[in-house]
């Protein structure tokens, strides 16, 4: 099988093109720009208005970009973040070692931390600093069964056109159950059918302006 290839998105940051699904891990208009807009600014920041200690669940860990951006926020703002990244198909060292996020974000001193995110043992809570711990879990999203453990869900699965089964009610319900009351789910996806499913599960659903190249994104509050 052809191996997945590293591509450069429009803001200069890398992404990965999945040959299996025919889509990239991030927006071609900018991986870092999308991550900051959708996950950090629309997902993490609103939670920081009420607490500096936040439990985050990520679907899925992928390149580690969202986790790395969150780590940087935790350092800058002296937060206490507990991050759980779910991923069934991890990148190879050859792939993650090439990713240019630390350099592009102008934190070359954190390149080691970026590599540590990837090298962290599975199913173990690892402390990257006094502000950030991560547990990576190698399993299918369909197998998640957490109850009221998280304040924020970064729902970053491949698009419904590529993996429709991950946007069905059964998986979205797992996200609802995993969140605490007033927990926030954010996703770049703004499809009407996904928003209707989230609403039917009991979320309050908002459409927000999307990152470059996308008119809207979705934020759902439990
Ligand atoms: C859009 S990419 C994630 C991007 C990631 N958040 C990042 O910053 O790089 C989707 C991820 O879901 C993973 N994945 C796909 N299907 C999965 C499944 N059923 N269970 C667990 N992981 C899955 C893929 O391997 C990929 O890493």
Domain chopping of the chain, boundaries: 30-221
- Ligand 1 pocket check for 13: Cβ under 6 Å: no
Q: How many other CB atoms are there within 10 angstroms of residue 4's CB atom? A: 18
Residue 31: strand pairing partners: none
Residue ranges with strand state E in 10-113? 14-18, 23-24, 53-59, 80-86
Distance 205 CA to ligand 1 centre (A): 23
pLDDT for 104 beyond 60: yes
User: What is the mean predicted confidence (pLDDT) over 120-127?
Assistant: 98
Question: Which listed CATH number (3.50.50.60, 3.40.50.150, 3.90.76.10, 3.40.50.300) goes with 30-221?
Answer: 3.40.50.150
- Which residue from 9, 24, 157 has its CB within 8 A of the most atoms of ligand 1, so it is best to mutate? 157
88 Cβ closer than 6 Å to some ligand 1 atom: yes
* pLDDT > 90? residue 24: yes
Residue 3's pLDDT band, with cuts at 50, 70 and 90, is confident
Ligand 1 center to residue 207 CA distance, Å?
23
């Amino acid at each position: 099988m052809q191996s997945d290839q590293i591509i450069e998105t429009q803001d200069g940051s890398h992404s990965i093109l999945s040959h299996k699904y025919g889509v990239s891990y991030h927006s071609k208009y900018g991986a870092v720009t999308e991550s900051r807009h959708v996950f950090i600014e629309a997902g993490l920041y609103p939670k920081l208005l009420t607490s500096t200690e936040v439990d985050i669940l990520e679907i899925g860990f992928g390149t580690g970009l969202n986790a790395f951006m969150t780590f940087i926020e935790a350092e800058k703002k002296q937060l206490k973040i507990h991050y759980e990244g779910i991923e069934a198909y991890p990148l190879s060292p050859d792939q993650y070692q090439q990713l240019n996020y630390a350099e592009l974000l102008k934190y070359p001193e954190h390149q080691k931390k970026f590599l540590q995110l990837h090298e962290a043992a599975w199913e173990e809570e690892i402390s990257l600093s006094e502000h950030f711990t991560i547990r990576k879990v190698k399993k299918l999203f369909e197998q998640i069964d957490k109850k009221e453990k998280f304040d924020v869900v970064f729902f970053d699965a491949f698009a419904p056109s590529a993996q429709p089964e991950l946007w069905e009610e059964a998986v979205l319900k797992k996200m609802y159950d995993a969140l605490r009351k007033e927990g926030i789910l954010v996703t770049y996806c703004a499809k009407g059918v996904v928003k209707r499913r989230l609403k039917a599960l009991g979320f309050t659903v908002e459409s927000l302006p999307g990152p470059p190249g996308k008119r809207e994104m979705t934020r759902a509050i439990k």
